[in-house]
Structure 1
């Protein structure tokens, strides 16, 4: 396993989870993610990407929610867990992400190639 894959796995295990409002997808807009993470997701056509962007949505957002929820990128996992990306409805985990880990993740974003999902 590459060092970047190990780092992604490390971050994913440490980002807290919480219950969202059923049916809410307010945080499922266009986002960027590392090229390493997008390579692990199912391939979407250019038309699917364009349609999602036109709706200010994510190409992996389906009628019943995220198609790749268990494998969703770090940025998607962060929504609602850090003061940088608060849930617009006030949902959050009991404890927000550790500030040091949040900084490490931000440094990871800056150090890796990010692409539009």
Structure 2
């Protein structure tokens, strides 16, 4: 496990969770993720990426929701947990993410190679 993999795991554990509305995919748009996070995901073809981008969606959004939910990138985990990325349906954890944790995540993302999903 690389230092960045360990950092990703540590940051994931500090992001609060909450229940989404079943069937909602309002936050599943094109995002960037670190190369380490993308390496954990199944490979998608260029065509699958192109279709997702054309639809302003994510190539890992399937008929029944996120196909990689357990390995979803940090940016996806942040949606709904911070005032900067509010859920459009008002869902949220009981306690929003600690601002220091959010800063640590943004610092990590800013200092790692990013890949468009």
Residue 90 of structure 2 is matched in structure 1 by 90
TM-score, length-scaled by structure 1: 0.98
Structure 1 runs, 4 residues or longer, greater than 4 Å off: none
C-alpha separation between the residues in 2 aligned to 1:36 and 1:71? 11
Unaligned runs of 5+ in 1: none
C-alpha separation between the residues in 1 aligned to 2:83 and 2:5? 26
Pairing 1:56-71 to 2, within 5 Å after superposition: 56-71=56-71
The SS at the match of 1:107 is helix
Unaligned runs of 5+ in 2: none
1:106 is displaced (CA, Å) by 0.8
- How many residues were matched structurally? 117
RMSD of the alignment, in Å? 0.6
